[in-house]
Chain A
Amino acid sequence: MNIALESLRPCLDGAVPAVVATASPDGTPNVAYASQVHYVDPEHVALSFQFFSKTRENVLAHPYAQVQVIEPVSFRHFRLKVHYLRTETSGPLFEYMKAQLAGIATRTGMAKVFALRGADVYRVLDIENVDPRLLPAPSPPDALLKLRGTLDHLGACDDLAQLADRALAALARGFGISHALLAMLDESGGALYTLASLGYPASGVGAEVALGEGLIGVAAREAIPVRINHHTGDYTYHAALHVADPASPRIPLPVLANPHSQIAVPLMHGARLVGVLYAESEQNAFFSHADEDALVVYGRHLGALVVQLAALPDDAEPARVAPASTPSGAPLAVRYFAHDHSVFIDNDYLIKGVAGSILWTLLNEHAASGRRDFCNRELRRDPRLPLPDFGDNLETRLILLQRRLAERCPQIALAKTGRGRFRLELARPLLLNAA
């Protein structure tokens, strides 16, 4: 091919509809609009299969087609000669196209019409530039440069809390991203919890997302990046939150009500999923193909750093800190529900799950022995925490707990006293009550 398929990626974002031409066995041509032509790799594209159409009938009988795509801004047309190979009806490619199609459908007023039945994969045999006299569209900002700037701002991090905050702040500097969050995979592997966020009125720390739920959940379940360039109702979280069960407390995800661009990339360490980085914008087409590439690399970098920082040994001794003031004032009522490890302070929901269980254990230990200094290593071995192997999640759970306390109940604090060490600080006396 004279033209590299990669160079056509701006044409493959659904901004301008593509056209697909096929022929029936008797040679009669058929021409139809293609909602989505998706870049798979340097030799393949995938077309969305939404309806049992003449295009599909023709391609199954005679697997050659021609696809015309248009470069936004320049309006250069390109014709791709393609050979139909197969249809995928599940898996990463299918899920990515399904999410992207939801964005395209809303943009084109087809939200209730479009549903993905399959991803038709084609090999690209040849590419023709139909308009060689037209100038190419100006190059988008260099995503590699943005990534380098982001890594410069990230700098060297000593612990996970610092990493979580800097990872998002660096994105704001490097990519101009104003709204983002970091969600970590929990011990069960069935859900993610928000560890840090950027640019929202409420931090949403502790908010959970089930695997497969919304864009974050799809990116996690398939361990793939997913990018939507237009507004869609299909992958937002607000509908789910409005019907949340009041008996099952849930911290709302802080995300935008109507994002016009969304991207979720997995944080990977080798083949293992650690979490998901999610970013969104009120602008259409905010994230380019190249931004997606760069953020995937960033996600791998962050995933490795999370694992590396969590594996560092605890300090042998706590740092010297000023003696804590004696708790005073009216006692706080702390209520614990063992079935989901949820903790309520003066009847207000604080946290549940692993973090709830840790808090309850610390408060009981303090009540029984007066101890205030703790280290991560002993928590990992504590038989009172009836939970599976923490792995490196213990660190992130403690950060989550620390932040949630700072937001909702500053009278109870976990102050860092060294690597893997912290001190329980109480401003008010407590009344512990297990349900």
Chain B
Amino acid sequence: MARDRRSLTVLLSASRGRAVLEALDTGSAITLVVSRPATHATLQLKATRAVRVGVSTAHRATSARCVAAFAGELETLGYATELKTTLASVLPTDDLVALRFVPEIVFDQTPGPDAGRVLART
């Protein structure tokens, strides 16, 4: 999240996200869904466009930290310990692309009857 709390930078694997990147290059809109496995708390953020930005050393460190934290949370839910290694190999830090966008609308996407409620919009 940017210091002014207006834009987000998403880090994704270039090889796994090839289709997403191709769509964005042709002007597609972007939707980001983030979810907390332990609580299922889920947000969906949408924007009409996203731009690629350079990947910094800080981005790579952040990505590694997030992947490890995600694996750690899954482990507390009963997933195997080896998942940490698997996730690190699926989402390596040398294959990252950074996308920056300004969310225009944010939805609560936590599974249940309230999923789809608008939490904020510009």
Contacts and interface: CB of A to CB of B under 8 A. Distances in A.
Contacts of A54: 116
B59 interface: no
A200 interface: no
A209 to B, nearest CB: 32
A211 to B, nearest CB: 32
A32 B33 contact: yes
Given A51-B115, A75-B86, A75-B90, A29 B31 contact: yes
B23 to A, nearest CB: 8
Interface of A is mostly: loop
Contact of A32 (B29, B83, B90, B109): B109
B46 interface: yes
Interface string B34-52: 0100001010101010000
Contacts of A5: none
B86 A134 contact: yes
B122 interface: no
Contact of B113 (A51, A77, A109): A51
A27 B115 contact: no
Interface residues of A, number: 26
B29 A28 contact: yes
Contact of A28 (B46, B80, B89): B46
Nearest to B31: A29
A113 B112 contact: yes
Contacts of B29: 27-29
Nearest to B17: A130
A352 B33 CA distance: 58
Nearest to A79: B19
A131 interface: yes
Contacts of A349: none
B16 interface: yes
Contact of A113 (B16, B111, B116): B111
Given A19-B33, A51-B113, A110-B111, A31 B44 contact: yes
A35 interface: yes
Interface in B40-98: 40, 42, 44, 46, 48, 80, 83, 86-87, 89-90
Contact of B90 (A53, A114, A131): A131
Contacts of B87: 75
B15 to A, nearest CB: 9
Contacts of A21: 31
Contacts of B8: none
B111 A134 contact: no
A74 interface: yes
Interface in A29-65: 29-33, 35, 51, 53-54
A269 B108 CA distance: 51
A434 B44 CA distance: 71
Query: Sorted from nearest, which 6 A-B pairs have the closest CB atoms?
Result: A29-B31, A31-B33, A113-B112, A75-B86, A28-B29, A31-B31
5 contacts: A31-B31, A31-B32, A32-B33, A32-B115, A134-B90
